[in-house]
Structure 1
Amino acid sequence: MRDYKFRGKRIDNGEWVYGDLMTGKNPSITWWKPVGEQSYEIDCADVDPETVGQVFDFGDKEENELYPGDIIKTVHTRASENASSDDPFSNTATGYEEYEKVGLIEYHRGYTFGPRLRWKKGHMMIPNTSTLWRMKAVKLGNRWDNPDLLEG
């Protein structure tokens, strides 16, 4: 079942909050806050609209939730000049090496809709969880708290 959990960065103190999205003059996130051993009350905070995002249906290899604006590291394989293998799709044969890329996850609204991983050069749509797991994806941070991760 689809999870309708949202996150946003509070305007008043810059903390991240997670819960349900309420729209109005300013977007707000509401959540259940424990106030006793088995009792809760609803809390609410205005959030920066730029930071609001809905959790994706997949996580990284460490099972961290991923939201639009998250920065992840992925591992890829490329063949060197001396690669040799009877299997052209093998990445474990002699001459293949791994390299890392850092990219931004976003929700793409263009000729296709859905989650997209964007690197400095290029991008790819993310059709399912196994795509990120095969790339050994790990969440590093997000573009608001860690913009330096996208540099270089």
Structure 2
Amino acid sequence: MREILFRAKRIDNGEWVEGYPVKYPSGEAEIFKECGEPPDILLRCEIHPETLCQYTGLHDKNGKKIWENDIIRVENSADEGTGQVEFYGGMWYVDKGVNNSLYDIMMYDDEAEVYTVGNIFDNPELLK
């Protein structure tokens, strides 16, 4: 079974937090993170909803989790480029950064070099 996980930037300090999102009718959004230590079993963090990103279930060459809206660099014998991770047509892609087209990151293998270099919120200049 695949791991379903989200991350977003906290409102109070701007740091990234991973967990499970909740959006209230008021429009406020929080992420709940399991801490596992009683009495604080859940850590509740108010987040910027526009920064909410889903985990793809994949890791880059350095073992780092690949998230929606990450900027990744692909370098292998057939493909090269930098682009933004997006969910499209039921699959995770790098949008238009690799050979100026969609690159299916689910299909990379040991020969592909895929590195997370940033994300669109902290490093938008990497897409220029």
Report the TM-score, using the length of structure 2 for normalisation.
Answer: 0.82
Please report how far the alpha carbon of residue 33 of structure 1 lies from its aligned counterpart in structure 2 after TM superposition: 3.6
Measure the CA separation in 2 of the matches of 1:46 and 1:11. Answer: 6
How far 1:26 moved relative to its partner?
A: 2.0
Identity %: 28
Aligned residue runs from structure 1 range 39-78, under 5 A: 39=38, 41=40, 42-77=42-77
Q: Which protein has the bigger strand share?
A: 2
Please say which structure displays the higher CA radius of gyration: 1
Deviations 1:102-127 (A, max 9, x none): 1111112xxx2221111342212333
Name the counterpart of 1:101: 81
Map of 1:134 onto structure 2: 111
Residues paired across the two proteins, number: 123
Q: Which amino acid aligns with 1:122?
A: S
The residue number in structure 2 matching 1:20 is: 20
For 1:119, give the aligned amino acid. K
Give the match for residue 145 of structure 1.
122
For the structure 1 residues 26 and 114, does the alpha-carbon distance in structure 2 shift closer, same or farther, using more than 3 Å as the test? farther
Question: The residue matched to 1:77 in structure 2 has which SS?
Answer: coil
Letter of the structure 1 residue corresponding to residue 92 of structure 2: P
1:48/1:145 CA distance change after superposition, 3 Å: same
Partner of 2:104: 125
1:23-42 equivalences under 5 Å are: 23-24=23-24, 25-33=27-35, 39=38, 41=40, 42=42
Partners in 2 of 1:106 and 1:73 — Cα distance? 14
Distance in 1 (CA, whole Å) between partners of 2:12 and 2:38 is 26
In 2, the alpha carbon distance for the partners of 1:27 and 1:67 equals 19
1:83 match = none
Structure 1 regions of 5+ residues with no counterpart? 79-98
- CA distance in 2 between partners of 1:134 and 1:40 (Å): 47
Relative to the length of structure 1, the TM-score reads 0.71
Are the aligned partners of 1:126 and 1:132 in contact in 2 as well (CA < 8 Å)? Answer: no
8 Å CA contact 1:29, 1:45 repeated in 2 = yes
Consecutive unaligned residues of structure 2, counting only runs of 5 or more, are none
